[in-house]
Amino acid sequence: MKNTSYAAVLGRKNQIMKSAVGLDYSQFESGSIGFDYEGMMASTKLSMDQVMEVMQSFNVGNTPLIELKNITALARKYAAPGKGARILVKDEACNPSGSFKARRAALSVHMAKQMGYKGVITATSGNYGAAVASCCAKAGLKCIVVQECYDSKGLGQPEIVEKARKCEALGAEVIQLSVGPELFYVFLRLLEDTGYFNVSLYTPYAIQGVESLGYELATQCRKQFGKDPAMVVATNAGGGNLTGTARGLQKAGCKVPLVAASVDLKGLHMASDTQFNRKSFTTGHTGFGMPFTTWPDRSDVPRSAARPLRYMDRYVTLTQGQVFYMTEMLVVLEGMERGPAGNTSLAAAFSLAQELNQDDLLIVQETEYTGAGKHQNAQLAFARENGITITIGDPKDQVPGESIILPQTPKQLTATEVDLTHLRQSLIRGALGDATTMPIENDLRFLAGETGSDLNFVRTTITRLLEERHETN
C-alpha cells in the first residue's frame, strides 16, 4: 500500500501529474532556468483548424461580437473631443456552460477521451467546473469537481455554492473543502486513486482551447467591421485567459495591444481562512493575477502553459465597487445581465476607450453568465454579512476586506496602471533564485521572452540584483 501521508503524496506529485496529464514535461526541460515553452505548446500537434473542429463538436464558440452603443456614448461624454472608441464585447456567456472556460474544457475533455481516460478531475471553485461537467456530459466521461468552498466556520461564498449545484446538475460529483492546503492534497489523492485525467486550467490543451477565442475574435471583427481592433482587454487571474487569447490573435495575424485587467484585492491573502470570505470576487482579482504573472509555475502542473507576462502590453486594476457599478450599467444601458469576471474588463474598457479615437474598436474579450450566487446583489449582501461596509463615494478610498465603495458617477470608472517593469523584475528575481553569477545565454533569452522584454533589460536587471547580493554579503 502507498503511503498516503501529506508529505508522501506531495512528494509523488510529479509522478502523479505525469500519469494524469499524459504529457512528459521533462522532455522540455533544459536543466537550468529556461525550458522549451513553444515546444511544449506544439507537442499537442493540433492545428487551429482542428481546435475549431473540436469546439464545434461541443457546440462551443462562434459566440456573438456585440457593440455596446449606449455605453460607448456614455464613455464619450467624459472623453476629449474626437476620443471614445467603439466598445464591443465577445459574449462568451452564450457557451453551453455560460463562460469562455467552455473552450478550455472542450479541448481538454476531448483529449482525455482520445487518450482513453474514463473520467476527469478538476480543482476549481468557479466557471471551469461547470464547463468541464458540461463537456463531460456530452462526451460520456465521469467528472469530479473539487472545490475550495468554505471557511473553518462552514460558511461558503454564494458564487461557489451556486457553482456546486450547477456542476451536480450537469452530472459531476462535487467534493467541497475548506480553504487551505488540503485542496491540492485531496486533488492528488483523487488523481492517483481513480486514474482519471487532470483537466488542469494550465495544460497546453486548455490554453489552445482559449486560442480559439482570440482567433475567432479577430476573424469576426474583420468580417463585421472590415478591420482589426485597436485594443483588446482581457480579465486576468491565473493567466490562461490572456495567454490563450493573445496566442489566438497572433495565429490570426492580428497585432493588437492586449490589456490585462484585475480587481484590486491588495492586502487580502487568498489562502487565509479569516480573509477567504472578505472578498467578493472568486476570480479575476489580483490575489491570483499578481502571483501567477510573476511565477506562472505555481499551478497544478510542472510547467504552466499560461504565461501572461509574455503577452500583456499593459496591466490595469479596478476596485470591487467599480466592477459592481459597471455590472449594473450593462443591465440598465444595454439590457445585458452578465457576471463580474467579464465586467472587470468592461469597467476597464470604459476608461481605456477614452484614450482612443472614435473610429477605433475596443473589444472586451469575454462575458460570463450570472445567476443567484454570482449576482452583484448577492455578493454585496454577503459582504455586509461579513462586516464589509457598503457606501457610495470615491472608489479610490476603498480598502479590500473592509469596504466596498460604489462610484457616484461614471466619471469615477478609471483604470489604475500596474507597473509592468516591477512585475518583470519580480519574475526575473524569482527565476534567478540563489544564483550568484550571470545565467547562460539560453536562460537570458528565455527570461526575455518570459517577461515580454529584451536581453538588455534582463541583463541589466540581473546585474543589479547580483550587485545588491554582493553588497549584502
* Secondary structure in 3-state letters for 358-377: CCCEEEECCCCCCCCCCCHH
Q: CA 72, 74, 79, 80 torsion: positive or negative?
A: positive
* Count of Cβ atoms closer than 10 Å to residue 472 Cβ: 6
| Separation between Cα atoms, residue 170 and residue 184, nearest integer Å | 24
Tell me how far CA of residue 56 lies from CA of 20, 89, 98, 137, in angstroms: 26, 21, 16, 16
Has residue 228 got a pLDDT over 90?
yes
Of the candidates 81, 134, 74, 75, the one whose C-alpha atom is nearest the C-alpha of residue 104 is 134
Per-residue model confidence (pLDDT) at position 272: 83
pLDDT of residue 186: 94
- The answer to whether 214 touches 248, Cβ cutoff 8 Å, is yes
Judged against a pLDDT cut of 90, whether residue 129 lies above it is answered with: yes
Torsions phi, psi for 178 (to 5 deg): -85, 165
Which range is least confidently modeled, 18-22, 206-210, 287-291? 18-22
Interval 298-322: pLDDT, tens:
988 999 999 999 999 999 999 999 9
Phi, psi torsion values for 238, nearest 5 degrees? -75, -10
Contacts of 279 (CB under 8 A, 6+ apart): 265, 268, 270, 285, 287, 320, 400, 401
Determine the 3-state secondary structure of 50 from DSSP: helix
* Distances in whole angstroms, Cα of residue 423 to Cα of each of 61, 418, 439: 33, 9, 20
Cα angle 353-359-361, degrees, rounded to a multiple of 5: 55
Contact 237, 305 (CB under 8 A): no
Confidence band for 2, pLDDT divided at 50, 70 and 90: confident
pLDDT at 88: 98
Please state, in angstroms and rounded to a whole number, the distance separating the CA atoms of residues 87 and 229.
10
Residue 210 has pLDDT above 80, yes or no: yes
- Residue 270 clears pLDDT 90, i.e. is over it: no
What pLDDT sits at residue 121? 97
- The 8-class DSSP code of residue 19 comes to H
pTM above 0.85, yes or no: yes
What is the pLDDT, as a whole number, of residue 34?
A: 97
What pLDDT is recorded for position 41? 98
> What domains are defined for the chain?
6-43+99-204 (3.40.50.1100), 51-97+205-417 (3.40.50.1100), 422-472 (1.10.10)
| Cell numbers for 201 | 486550467
* pLDDT tier at 273, thresholds 50, 70, 90: confident
Kindly tell me if the per-residue pLDDT of 125 is higher than 90: no
What sections of 195-339 are H helices per DSSP? 204-225, 240-251, 286-294, 320-334
For residue 283, what pLDDT is reported?
A: 86
Is the separation of the CB atoms in 268 and 287 below 8 Å? Answer: yes
Poorest-pLDDT segment among 30-39, 268-277, 412-421 = 268-277
The upper half-sphere exposure of residue 64, i.e. CA atoms within 13 Å in the direction of its Cβ, equals 5
**Cβ neighbours around 290 below 10 Å, total:** 20
Q: What is the rounded distance in angstroms from the CA atom of residue 155 to the CA atom of residue 182?
A: 17
* Cell representation of residue 423: 512585475
pLDDT score at 372: 82
Check residues 111 and 179 and name the one with the higher pLDDT: 111
Give the closest residue to 217 by CA, choosing from 257, 245, 239, 242: 245
- Does the structure show a pLDDT above 90 at 470? no
Whether the per-residue pLDDT at 1 is higher than 80: the answer is no
Q: How far apart are CA 64 and CA 51, in angstroms?
A: 19
Quote the CA–CA distance of 327 and 304 in Å, as a whole number.
Answer: 31
Among 162-166, 225-229, 334-338, 389-393, the least confident range: 162-166
Distance in angstroms (rounded) separating the CA atoms of residues 115 and 22:
8
CA distances from 269 to 29, 214, 292, 319 (A): 32, 31, 14, 16
Confidence of residue 350 (pLDDT cuts 50, 70, 90): very high
Backbone angles phi, psi at 470, to 5 degrees: -65, -40
| pLDDT higher than threshold 80 for residue 6 | yes
Q: What is the DSSP letter of 420?
A: H
Please tell me whether residue 98 adopts helix, strand or coil conformation: coil
Q: Measuring CA to CA, how many Å separate 347 from each of 39, 146, 158, 261, 278?
A: 36, 31, 23, 9, 22
Structure-block grid coordinates of residue 294: 510573476
Write the DSSP string, 379-411.
HHHHHHHTT-EEEEE-GGG--TTTEEEEESSGG
Residue 145 near residue 355 (C-beta atoms within 8 A): no
Answer yes or no: are the C-beta atoms of 50 and 212 closer than 8 Å.
no
Residues 267-281 have a mean pLDDT of: 85
pLDDT band at 126 (very low <50, low <70, confident <90, very high): confident
